Amino acid sequence: MIVKNKFTGEVFMEIKDTTRSEAHAILRNGVKATGNMAELPRFKIYDSLMDISDKLKKNSSDLARIISIEAGKPIKLSRKEAMRAANTFQFAAEETRRAHGETVPLDVEPRGIHRTAFFNRVPVGLIYSVTPFNDPLNLVAHKIAPAIAAGNAIINKPASLAPVSALRLSEMASETDLPDHAVQEVISVGGGEISNLFLTSDAIKMITFTGGTEAAEKLVRKAGVKKYSMELGNNSPVIVWNDADLDSAAESIVDAAFESQGQNCIHAQRILVKSDVYEYFRNRLIEITSRLKIGDPLDENTDIGPMITESEAIRVENSVKEACALGSNLLAGGNRDGSFMAPTILENVPPESPVWKKEIFGPVMMIMPVESMDEAINLANDVEYGLQAGVFSSDINLAMQAIERLNFGTVLINDSSDFRIDTMPFGGMKKSGIGREGVRFSMEEMSEIKLAIIKR
């Protein structure tokens, strides 16, 4: 596998693909590590997770540079990602001291008298994770850290387009007091023979996946009956009401729509604006977008880097052209230069069009005026996804109405859709996912309840 610099196109690193015999060895080693992890006391798990966190902090500058080169992310964002990954391991370490079971009262009916029940959480077993390119370090941390904290071994398949930071993370894990092979990486392109081996193996007890909804459906059909945790596609709406701080909302939405070139599952895609402030707000979005600098991800002043591949930029460009052919107005951007796609704003996009209904996963936002909160909420809900949504309003009654009626895993008030703290329960409704991430919540997904009942 050849990893290229997403800005220059030069070869950054060559990585050997995992062979079939190596894949079988990885599985065998993973099974052995699973048994060793189950016997590891919590204080040793805590120490190892903190050790990884410290290593990530010490190497954060180097890791940030790797992220920018392999994923095209502006360096100022890559630094944040590196530190978030370090924090994720620290959060996981702290959770090892809080993870516990509960007692369960059984005398709620006569048959339960003289019986005491309690449960503990036990490791689910060997985990296989599949991670994407857009946050190539922190989204790997979100799989590995809670898996280890819950007492599991894990095999991760990083994105073939941006695997280097994940490999560095696994090297750091191997330098701790964790059992050998507790964290392993498998390098495989696409969904071929090697990937299928891990998906279908009975040794794998759980699959955790971050990626597109269609890819997840194919994965489940191949893997069959296993435990799953999946963070999938999205199409985030943001509602802007006439009583909001419009200038602050515009800054927040532009950042949410175009950060990381819009290659973000919670990026702001559909902006629904109260009609009486629509013209002002539209103009503010255009003005703020015009200030964004496109360029070298390693340049401190760059806001927009290249997309992960030129073919992805072409896909987004074609989606914009299709929307314009259906009657949409192009207010900003729309042009492409190689793998660079300019930040794009579309207006009057037909709600039945693909670019409105589907996840664009690129630097495109669409804006539309609405007359009522009912109309805004109905439009926001009228997609197959439900990860995160934002609402800007100073009216607590409207805010509560939105929280109750928006069918999204997270509803943010006076913030855009693009906000995540790595301890919060993160996940979606409908086709946006299965289960919840966020360290403590991932640990619950990555463990099983074992109940004990004692008759006196």
Query: Active-site positions?
Result: 231, 265
CA atoms within 13 A of residue 174's CA, in its CB half-sphere = 12
Cα three-residue angle 307-311-315, rounded to 5 degrees: 90
Structure tokens at 353: 């069009």
Going by C-beta distance under 8 Å and a sequence separation of 6 or more, which residues neighbour residue 122?
38, 151, 447, 448, 449, 450
Token pair 């990937």 is at which residue? 195
Both tokens of 317, joined, read 């460009």
Half-sphere exposure of 339 (CA within 13 A, CB side): 22
Q: How far apart are the first and last CA of the chain?
A: 62
In Å, how far from its chain's centre is CA 397? 31
